[in-house]
Structure 1
């Protein structure tokens, strides 16, 4: 084998071993062949870098798309840099959260879960009369208001105010009243007994609603929120 043949094989990426043939007195090709591995590790490195670069490019595209969406939501944000834009978004989210909390407290928006609450919210320091608040949140059903009216009348209370709020098929009724039976300063035990009787009366209404699940299937093409004083309408 001459030097030219050896160089040609090397250029093809194949390295061949040469051994001395004692009979011929020259170098000859060995029977085994070893594949040239030059550049394999470099190829893997380049592929990994390309994959990482592509992932970073997609990540930047997602970030820029979200930032563009935020700019469309925030007024006068065209000239804001990214930090200023995010700071303004955080500020507005906090304001929206405070507004939602305020609306929920003032308008008694119905919750997704059934709920009954009965509590004392004020006490007259002169005669000891307590102001109670009772609320029931549930699915709407026919005759719900008439059942509530009957329950309130059976408790022998002086109704001060009642409110109704609705959200889709959900409804929440809130009642403010004083206890006519006490007529003055009542013991803690007497108040607890009265609170328990109110809870039991409202629970019976909730049980009736739960017993008729088909009433919760009334179609509501568009959810709406309403709140009004119903004292003069119901009682």
Structure 2
């Protein structure tokens, strides 16, 4: 459960039942800690009509690892391997989109910080002091 140095998304199908459900998905996301990340993950999974039934979160030096066990809120035939594969792919895509959104917004913020230029030069400040 220790966060890794690189961003990573893993999605695995789990059969054999958990909490009375015949099928679940184990998804993990490792990335830099960003405020609002967990809320966005939840919204992305809610949009897929999926429910998080277990979550584990670990942090270390600004990095975080989130592991979720997810089930579908829809009544579907879980015996259908194609449906399970589609569902796992949808979870992976949802997590990727959340991670990409945070990476882009973080990159824009960093770019702005680097471009900031003072309109006063250090020599002109001396004239006012």
Q: TM-score, normalization: structure 2?
A: 0.72
Q: TM-score, normalization: structure 1?
A: 0.42
C-alpha change, 1:215 and 1:111, in structure 2 (3 Å) is farther
CA contact (8 A) 1:120 1:133 kept: yes
What RMSD in Å do the two structures reach over aligned CA positions?
2.2
Residue of structure 2 aligned with 1:196, choices 81, 86, 89: 89
Larger RCO: 1 or 2 (CA < 8 Å, sep 6+) = 2
CA contact (8 A) 1:141 1:215 kept: no
CA contact (8 A) 2:78 2:84 kept: no
In structure 2, distance between residues paired with 1:180 and 1:123: 18
In structure 1, distance between residues paired with 2:85 and 2:15: 15
Residue of structure 1 aligned with 2:10, choices 114, 117, 121: 117
Structure number having the greater helix percentage = 1
Question: How many residues are paired up?
Answer: 107
In structure 2, distance between residues paired with 1:167 and 1:133: 21
Structure number having the greater strand percentage = 2
Spell out, residue by residue over 1:116-160, the C-alpha distance to the aligned partner (whole angstroms, 9 max, x if none). 011112323xx9721210111111112112111211211212321
CA offset at residue 181 of structure 1?
A: 2.2
Is there any run of 5+ residues in structure 1 with no aligned partner, and where?
A: 1-107, 217-235
C-alpha change, 1:185 and 1:149, in structure 2 (3 Å) is closer
In structure 1, distance between residues paired with 2:6 and 2:109: 16
For residue 98 of structure 2, what is the aligned residue in structure 1? Answer: 205
In structure 1, distance between residues paired with 2:109 and 2:69: 27
Is there any run of 5+ residues in structure 2 with no aligned partner, and where?
A: 111-129
For residue 130 of structure 1, what is the aligned residue in structure 2? Answer: 23
CA contact (8 A) 2:21 2:71 kept: no
